[in-house]
Structure 1
Amino acid sequence: MARIVYFTIQADDVLRAADFYRNTFGWHIEKWGGEWGGTDEFYLIETGTEDDPALPGTLMKRPGKVDSQLLNAFMCGIESTAIDDDMAAVVANGGTLVSPKVTIPGVGWVAYCRDTEENFIELRQMDPEAA
């Protein structure tokens, strides 16, 4: 079975996006010393720690214009332990809320947001007691 091993976030303003993800979710983001996909604006993302590893990612300059307000990409979800706090952090760091927090009975809560680059984010807080 194939599995996801990393993710890529594309951005019009890579430094603004890096600040958003660092400040909102505490991710470690550092510039990679080479070129990839025709740009040297390429960064490595660590979403976990050595003690609590998580999916690694990359952040790169968007290669073209986004022509749609609809989701036109592969959207990843971010696990939250405090979804209300994370929703507030998204807004405080320049992102926007797309939907209110919704309960999924027996699963938890989910909310959709956009980052500073108009990419969709799913925030999900797991809680089997949610009703």
Structure 2
Amino acid sequence: MPNLSHFMIPADDVDRARRFYSALLGWTIEPVVPTPDPGGMAAMQYHAITTGPAAAGTLNTGGMYKRHLQEPILDFVQVEDIDAVVLKVEKLGGKITLPITVIPGVGLTAMILDTEGNLFGLLMPEKK
């Protein structure tokens, strides 16, 4: 069964948000060293979040990035076959807002609006 695998926090000021969550919750939030991809991770000011040690029943990884629109905190559901899941979205009344996209070193992702207008992501990790 697919589980939540990752969350992302958009921020108007990434450094300010990093200080807030680190001080409030003790999270470790570190910048991701970008690959040679000037429009990708570096432009997003992407930071990796570790909320604590991995433990059964918890999600302990996330990300923070420079806000682009008025997007909410994003949750990602890890799936085994992203193509099959994306094919079902519109049949079930949802909408695809970002088609399947490759994130080098991470895997495949897509963004979906559910039938209530809630945005969430799908993630199929890269096979290692």
| TM-score interval, smaller chain | 0.3 to 0.5
Please, what TM-score do these two structures have when normalized by structure 2? Answer: 0.44
Higher helix fraction (1 or 2): 2
Please, what TM-score do these two structures have when normalized by structure 1? Answer: 0.43
Higher strand fraction (1 or 2): 2
